[in-house]
């Protein structure tokens, strides 16, 4: 089949054989995310017209004010994943603990766990800046037929079977990998169908964009400060351009297309950085590596980090391979 204008559904069916587990499972997993993405997209796109923006009047375990759309997106992804009867557990930025999904056949036969950041960058909603959903999928490690446990969630990123994001931007895109490259699908809202628009996405090995919140500069480790100054220096192809949207999915997506590096380092304010290992850094790291990019905490490959708790944070440096390696060099030299 010509890949031009291939729909997401056709792509999944055509590529099921490359998914090393039972063929139908990939379809049901990604299709449930596809459906939830369309439902959330519909609400995100009319934010401001209806009473769906603003604070939900509650805070999540991170101590962050939950936005109404955060809660809405969280509910929709959990509902859709539950209904497809393939997932045995879900962890979410918006949920204090993981959720056990009691499959219709109460024997817990479902084999997958999903970890999600249902609406990343939600502080941008009220100012009409793009936001995203991030998802990470593992096979459970405890015996099928028993209730899911925390062990099923605390797996290294290298064990992911699929990961991706939805970016609700000037267009809505679903970008994902199952370990066989990264492909991007753009939603045609008129008919509610995702079409393959960005086959085989690759990070350029070099780039000229750096993404970091420079308002935290004085709190950064010396190595990060030195690298930022390196980016700003008049030399060779530098200075680079600073672009920071405040939405990881959007900064990542732009940098993957154009070349660039995203950094959320630890600082004297955030001793482990801000981003969560399990449902932000690991899925983005899986995508980055599948797209010939790189992701580390400045010293260690993100996907090699052994998680110890559901909402743990790690410093995050991700993007074009040569840019990440240069930043790591500055981090090593500053030790
Ligand atoms: P800051 C959004 O809250 C997020 O998790 C990422 O999407 C984004 O890159 C970062 O935090 C923004 O954080 O501290 O720069 O506002």
What CATH code is carried by the domain that includes residue 133?
3.30.540.10
Q: Which of 280, 272, 268 is nearest to 318 (CA)?
A: 280
62 has a pLDDT exceeding 90: no
How much is the pLDDT for 215? 96
Tens of pLDDT along 194-225? 999 999 999 999 999 999 999 999 999 999 99
Q: Angle at Cα 235 formed by Cα 229 and Cα 237, nearest 5°?
A: 100
121 CA closest ligand 1 atom index: 2
Q: How far is CA 267 from the centre of its chain?
A: 22
Q: Which residue has the least CA distance to atom 2 on ligand 1?
A: 121
Judge contact between 272 and 307, C-beta under 8 A.
no
Express the helix, strand and coil content of the chain in percent, nearest 5 each.
35, 25, 40
Residue 20 lies inside a defined structural domain of this protein = yes
Which H or E run includes 12?
Answer: helix 8-15
Q: Are residues 134 and 273 in the same domain?
A: no
Pairing label, strands 209-211, 193-198: unpaired
Domain assignment of residue 254, given as a range: 209-333
122: cis peptide before it, omega within 30°? no
How much is the pLDDT for 67? 65
Q: Which of 54-68, 93-107, 260-274 has the lowest mean pLDDT?
A: 54-68
Pocket test for ligand 1, best of 264, 276, 316 (most atoms within 8 A of CB): 264
60 has a pLDDT exceeding 90: no
Work out the average pLDDT over 35-56: 76
Cα 286 from Cα 291, distance rounded (Å): 9
How many alpha carbons fall within 13 Å on the CB side of residue 323? Answer: 30
251 CA closest ligand 1 atom index: 9
Q: Are residues 233 and 186 in the same domain?
A: no
Q: Are residues 64 and 168 in the same domain?
A: yes
Q: Are residues 224 and 81 in the same domain?
A: no
Residue 74 lies inside a defined structural domain of this protein = yes
Judge contact between 274 and 262, C-beta under 8 A.
no
Judge contact between 113 and 137, C-beta under 8 A.
yes
Q: pTM value?
A: 0.94
pLDDT tier at 64, thresholds 50, 70, 90: low
Domain count, the chain: 2
Tens of pLDDT along 132-145? 999 999 999 999 88
Q: Are residues 306 and 247 in the same domain?
A: yes
Pocket test for ligand 1, best of 92, 118, 121 (most atoms within 8 A of CB): 121
Question: SS in 3 state form for 264-296?
Answer: ECCCCCCECECCEHHHHHHHHHHHHHHCCEEEE
Q: Are residues 186 and 224 in the same domain?
A: no
132 CA closest ligand 1 atom index: 7
Q: Are residues 12 and 121 in the same domain?
A: yes
Q: Are residues 191 and 213 in the same domain?
A: no
Judge contact between 117 and 156, C-beta under 8 A.
no
| Ligand 1, residues at Cβ distance < 6 Å | 120-121, 123, 213, 246-248, 274-275
Residue 204 lies inside a defined structural domain of this protein = no
Q: Which residue has the least CA distance to atom 1 on ligand 1?
A: 246
Cα 212 from Cα 143, distance rounded (Å): 42
Tens of pLDDT along 145-184? 888 999 999 999 999 999 999 999 999 999 999 999 999 9
Q: Are residues 39 and 167 in the same domain?
A: yes
Tens of pLDDT along 70-83? 888 999 999 999 88
55 has a pLDDT exceeding 70: no
Ligand 1 center–CA 141 separation, angstroms? 31
Three-class secondary structure of residue 335 per DSSP: coil
Residue 2 lies inside a defined structural domain of this protein = no
pLDDT tier at 105, thresholds 50, 70, 90: low
247 CA closest ligand 1 atom index: 7
232 has a pLDDT exceeding 80: yes
Residue 1 lies inside a defined structural domain of this protein = no
Pairing label, strands 209-211, 261-264: parallel
Q: Which residue has the least CA distance to atom 4 on ligand 1?
A: 121
Q: Are residues 162 and 275 in the same domain?
A: no
**Torsion region of 203: left, alpha or beta (phi above 0 gives left; psi -120 to 50 gives alpha):** beta
Work out the average pLDDT over 247-258: 98
How much is the pLDDT for 14? 86
244 CA closest ligand 1 atom index: 9
Domain end: 178, 198, 218, which one? 198
Q: Which residue has the least CA distance to atom 3 on ligand 1?
A: 121
Pocket test for ligand 1, best of 212, 248, 262, 278 (most atoms within 8 A of CB): 248
Higher pLDDT, 269 or 274: 274
Q: Which of 23-37, 51-65, 237-251 has the lowest mean pLDDT?
A: 51-65
Domain end: 198, 219, 250, which one? 198
Q: Are residues 151 and 17 in the same domain?
A: yes
Q: Are residues 291 and 191 in the same domain?
A: no
């Amino acid at each position: 089949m010509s890949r031009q204008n291939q729909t997401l559904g056709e792509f999944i069916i055509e590529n099921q054989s490359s998914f090393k587990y039972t063929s139908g499972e990939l379809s049901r997993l990604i299709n449930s995310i596809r459906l939830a993405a369309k439902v959330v997209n519909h609400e995100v796109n009319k934010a401001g017209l209806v009473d769906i923006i603003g604070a939900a009047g509650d805070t999540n375990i991170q101590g962050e004010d939950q936005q109404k759309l955060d809660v809405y997106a969280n509910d929709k992804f959990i509902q859709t994943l539950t209904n497809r009867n393939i997932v045995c557990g879900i962890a979410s930025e918006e949920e204090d603990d993981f959720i056990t999904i009691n499959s219709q056949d109460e024997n817990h036969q479902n084999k997958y766990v999903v970890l999600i950041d249902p609406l990343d960058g939600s502080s941008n909603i009220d100012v009409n800046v793009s936001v995203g959903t991030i998802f990470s999928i593992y096979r459970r490690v405890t015996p099928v037929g028993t209730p899911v446990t925390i062990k099923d969630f605390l797996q290294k990123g290298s064990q992911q079977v699929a990961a991706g994001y939805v970016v609700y931007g000037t267009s809505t895109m679903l970008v994902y990998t199952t370990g066989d490259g990264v492909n991007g699908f753009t939603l045609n809202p008129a008919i509610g169908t995702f079409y393959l628009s960005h086959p085989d996405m690759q990070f350029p090995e070099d780039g000229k964009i750096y993404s970091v919140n420079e308002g935290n500069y004085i709190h950064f480790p010396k190595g990060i400060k030195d690298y930022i100054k390196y980016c700003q220096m008049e030399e060779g192809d530098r200075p680079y351009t600073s672009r920071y949207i405040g939405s990881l999915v959007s900064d990542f997506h732009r940098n993957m297309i154009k070349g660039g590096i995203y950094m959320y380092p630890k600082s004297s304010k955030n001793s482990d950085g801000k981003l969560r290992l399990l449902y932000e850094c690991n899925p983005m790291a899986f995508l980055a590596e599948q797209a010939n990019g790189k992701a580390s905490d400045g010293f260690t490959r993100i996907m090699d980090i052994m998680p110890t708790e559901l909402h743990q944070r790690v410093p995050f440096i991700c993007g074009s391979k040569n840019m990440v390696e240069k930043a790591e060099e500055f981090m090593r030299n500053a030790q």
